[in-house]
Amino acid sequence: MATGSRDDAERRFWERYRKLLLKQGVKPAAVRWYILRAEQFIRAFSGRRLAELSRQDADEYLGRLGQDSRLQAWQFRQAVDAIRNLYSIVDTEWAGDVDWAFWRDSARTLEEQHATTAREYAAVTPEEFAQRIGESRFAPLVREHLEVFARFSTVMRTRGLAIRTEKSYLGWCCRFLARFGGSAPENLGAPEVATFLEELAVERNVSASTQNQALNALVFLYDKVLERPLGDLGFRRARGPRRLPVVLSQSEVKRLLAELRGTQWLIGSLLYGTGMRLMEVLRLRVQDLDFDRALITVRRGKGAKDRIVPLPQSLVGALRQHLEAVRELHERDRTEGFGETLLPDALARKYPKAAGEWRWQFVFPSGRLSVDPRSGATRRYHLHETAVQKAVSAAARRAGIHKKASCHTLRHSFATHLIEAGYDIRTVQELLGHSDVSTTQIYTHVLNRGGLAVRSPLDTA
């Protein structure tokens, strides 16, 4: 009788779980997989009731699951959602404290051609070049002119240009050659380049910045790679519109950050509190945080420049607590025979053991390990930026902010609010890492001080 009652209670529980999934929009065909993931979690703690488990148990389980690099992104995300939904039914005090968003964000790991990892490898096959560009249709074209593309990539890296610049330039070279039937670049010249740029502007109606980027890529190809300067193209660079950045008020920033939780809140707070770019935050290492001096060192920011930004005192406690959790994750990795991260430049060869040291770990590591497709090494990279971008945009919508708010908007807001507070523009320039003060001066236009000094005649009526 007791067994029958227990079976009935179990059936009712899973039926309630199934209805919850369907209510959340899970497709009926996928429900059984969620149940399977939930059952795997329960079996991992055999002999213990769900209500008896702790937040640490859930985090450790997801951490172990993240060490299985065979799991695809959707499978890992499904497992996280399955466990989270379990605790929507099982009432516990700690379930709301688990950073479920962090674990879901960890489902997507850095791709081989991601800006953080791509510099470690040189593309050697047409398919790898096409993967870097992001358009597989160019693989036959690259195969036909592989030597030129390999030389192009080598010259760009020798000059220390950004990997994303390399990607965009390679793409424009492919589009240019494809426009003229895949001809060798040596058989083309200034007339064809001018024709291509004119078609971009007239027929495709691209923006001025896009047109100038295409021009820069082709000039680089002929001048630096083929060593056949184009000379005077008879083509004038397009002048883009002078747009003001989107800036949030301090009240709007507070409302936006209030809609973020856990790791996403901490990253969003750093974006606004320091003025760093998103990738600069995600690439922070433990050693870059100086709590005693209340400073953060940004290494190899845009233009390969280092700089120092203030560490907000209001975030010290949250950052220390966050690093404790990251260290626990790192120690579990070391126990399992992992614990290495990606090192910049050639440091991994110079200091073979440094990759496993605590000081080199990312401040915002992914919850999943990734296997390097070439070396086979299993590493823990930083969180993927798309997760944070989506979280900030969604938070702005929930906060009722009717502006095009993004991660970079928080950087714009940081600069504007500093100038509003009376800080010198040169100080703001250094904090933002701008080479030219004219770039920083756009934030003084946002203030529109001249307009604010004039009283509208409507207000005097």
**DSSP annotation string for 282-341:** HT-BGGGEETTTTEEEE-S-TTS--EEEE--GGGHHHHHHHHHHHHHHHHHHHHTT----
Residue 451 pLDDT exceeds 50: no
Rounded Cα gap, residues 166 and 143, in angstroms: 18
| One domain for residues 278 and 399 | yes
- Burial label, 137 (beta-carbon count in 10 A; 0-12, 13-18, 19+): exposed
Please say whether the dihedral angle defined by the alpha carbons of residues 101, 39, 324 and 286, taken in this order, is positive or negative: negative
Q: What is the mean pLDDT of residues 153-181?
A: 88
218 and 335 share one domain: no
Average pLDDT over residues 360-379: 86
Residues 350, 261 share a domain: yes
Do the domain assignments include residue 408? yes
Most confident of 63-67, 225-229, 235-239, 282-286: 282-286
pLDDT value at residue 121: 67
* High-pLDDT (> 90) share of the chain, %: 52
Query: According to the model, what pLDDT value does residue 450 have?
Result: 46
pLDDT of residue 461: 54
Considering the domain boundaries, does residue 240 fall inside one? no
Contact 388, 265 (CB under 8 A): no
> Counting beta carbons within 10 angstroms of the beta carbon of residue 132, is it exposed (0 to 12), middle (13 to 18) or buried (19 or more)?
buried
Q: Is the pLDDT of residue 354 over 60?
A: yes
Query: Domain containing 177 — which CATH number?
Result: 1.10.150.130
Same domain membership, residue 459 and residue 335: yes
Q: Give me Rg for the CA atoms of the chain.
A: 26
Selected residue with higher pLDDT from 241 and 287: 287
Residue 1 banded pLDDT, cuts 50, 70, 90: very low
Beta pairing partners, 310: 295
Joined together, the tokens standing for residue 251 give: 């009240």
Split at pLDDT 50, 70, 90, the class of 370 is: confident
The answer, yes or no, to whether residue 102 has pLDDT greater than 90, is yes
Nearest to 337 by CA among 287, 380, 367, 382: 380
DSSP state of 223: I
Average pLDDT of 122-134?
Answer: 72
Domain end marker among 225, 257, 290? 225
Q: Say which CATH number the domain at 447 has.
A: 1.10.443.10
Task: Assess if residue 239 is contained within a domain.
Answer: no
Q: What is the pLDDT of residue 199?
A: 87
Residue where a domain terminates, one of 39, 67, 98: 98
C-alpha to C-alpha distances, 23 to 19, 291, 451, nearest whole angstrom = 6, 46, 52
- Least confident segment among 123-127, 162-166, 362-366: 123-127
Average pLDDT for residues 114-119, to the nearest whole number? Answer: 75
Is 128 within a domain?
Answer: yes
Cβ–Cβ under 8 Å, residues 418 and 431: yes
pLDDT above 50 for 460: yes
* Residues 375, 413 within the same domain: yes
- Which pair of tokens denotes residue 222? 């002929």
Burial 301-315 (b: 16+ CB within 10 A, else e): beeeeebebebbeeb
Cross-strand partners of 298: 307
pTM of the model: 0.85
State the CATH number of the domain containing residue 27.
1.10.150
Q: How far apart are CA 225 and CA 238, in angstroms?
A: 24
55 and 193 together in one domain: no
By the 8 A CB rule, do 114 and 87 touch? no
Which of 98, 131, 151 terminates a domain? The answer is 98
Determine, yes or no, domain membership for 23.
yes
pLDDT mean across residues, the chain: 87
Q: Is residue 380 part of a domain?
A: yes
Q: Please write the tens of the pLDDT for every residue from 316-341.
A: 999 999 999 999 999 999 998 898 89
23 and 92 assigned to the same domain? yes
Q: How many domains does the chain have?
A: 3
351 and 221 in a common domain: no
Residues 366 and 444 both lie in one domain: yes
Q: Do 84 and 146 have their domain in common?
A: no
The pairing of beta strand 289-290 with beta strand 307-310? unpaired
Residues 211 and 326 in one domain: no
Helix (H) / strand (E) containing 397: helix 385-398
Tell me if 342 is assigned to some domain: yes
Find the domain containing 347 and state its range.
248-461
Residue 362, pLDDT above cutoff 80: yes
349 in a structural domain:
yes
Catalytic residues: 277, 302, 408, 411, 434, 443
DSSP codes, 134-183: T-GGGHHHHHHTHHHHHHHHHHHHHTT--HHHHHHHHHHHHHHHHHTTT-
Contact 381, 340 (CB under 8 A): no
pLDDT beyond 90 at 298: yes
What Cα–Cα distance (Å) separates residue 108 from each residue in 143, 270, 286, 457?
A: 30, 22, 22, 55
330 in the same domain as 200: no
CA atoms within 13 A on the CB side of 178: 14
Q: CB 103: neighbour CB atoms within 10 A?
A: 27
At 265, the amino acid letter reads: W
